[in-house]
Structure formats: structure tokens, C-alpha cells
Amino acid sequence: MLSQEYPSTRSDVVLREYATTNSSQKNFTEFLWYAPNIEDDNGTLEGERAVKILYIEDDLNNALLMKRVLEADGFSVSLAPSGNVGLDKANREHPDLILLDIYMPGLNGHEVARKLRQMDDVKDTPILVISASPNSDDKRLSQEMGCNGYISKPIDIDRISSQVAAYL
């Protein structure tokens, strides 16, 4: 539990926690990876299972930031650095929701979405594309591949949890 009772925004919580960490942790990415979870009153209740989210994203900084923010709001987040790893994890972990980047090396997000929709255990799992692409064709193609929603980067860390929760 954080010492300040009422943080004004999620970014304030994350940045305040970073500011109070050991000075040997020089970069924000290391902080996001190694710091203990930030918890607040939005966490899961005792005995309640956290919603499992799989985030398929090749950019480590984006992946770690999203993981950190969503876990602070009580979600359980698993990361996959590529489309192939994401397909394997989806098959093994059966997430409640999948977040998916479009532009990745190897299988791109549209190909991954198409394959996910063919997998029996996750074919009905909501898929949200998280992309910086301003291209309206990407939004249309995402929908055609079976994605349920599209969230533009840069993400708003104060709103992302509610945006994600809307698809559960």
C-alpha cells in the first residue's frame, strides 16, 4: 500500500513510486520490471481471481508500462514479445482478454488475431488492438480479423484500465 492516501492520477502513483526507489535503479524500464507491485483499493478481493490479460507487444518499454499500470488496478498481466509466443501463451494460459500490437516482426497483429480466432479455447476471448497507427485501414482490418476494439497509442495511463475493463 502506498503511503499517500489519495493519489490524483495513476501516473502520479507510478511516478511517485519511481521517485522514492533506490537511486541505483537508474532507468524507468528497470523500475517497471523490478519494483514491487503498486497496490491500491482497486485490487481484487480475497479469494477472487484476478482478470488474466495477455499483452502481445514487441516493444519492451510499452509492454512493461502497460503491465505495471494494469497490475496496479488488480489485473494479472502476462507478456509475449512476439506473435508466435503470444499464440503459444494464449493456448496455454486461456486469458480473459488479449491486448495486441499490430506492427511486430514475424507475425503481425492482424495475422495473430486471425489465428487466435481459429483456436477453440480462445476464439471468443475479447481482443483489443493497441496501436500507434493513424491508418484507418488498420482499424478496419483489425475489426475484419475479429478484434473487438482499438485503443490508440500513446495510451492514457489514467484511462487504460477502464478502457480495458469495458471489454470484459
Secondary structure tally for the chain: helices H, strands E:
7, 5
pLDDT band at 122 (very low <50, low <70, confident <90, very high): very high
| Per-residue pLDDT at 120 exceeds 50 | yes
* C-beta separation of 67 from 79 below 8 A: yes
pLDDT band at 48 (very low <50, low <70, confident <90, very high): low
Residues of the chain above pLDDT 90, percent? 55
Quote the pTM value.
Answer: 0.72
What's the pLDDT tens digit per position in 73-85?
A: 999 999 999 999 9
- Is 16 exposed, middle or buried (CB count within 10 Å of its CB: 0-12, 13-18, 19+)? middle
- Mean pLDDT over 56-69 rounds to 93
Res 82: pLDDT: 94
- Mean pLDDT over 74-100 rounds to 95
Q: Which residue has the higher pLDDT, 6 or 112?
A: 112
Q: Per-residue DSSP letters for 135-152?
A: -HHHHHHHHHTT--EEEE
Handedness of CA 76, 79, 83, 86 (dihedral sign): negative
Beta strand 149-152 with 127-131: parallel, antiparallel or unpaired? parallel
CA gap 145, 113 in Å, rounded? 6
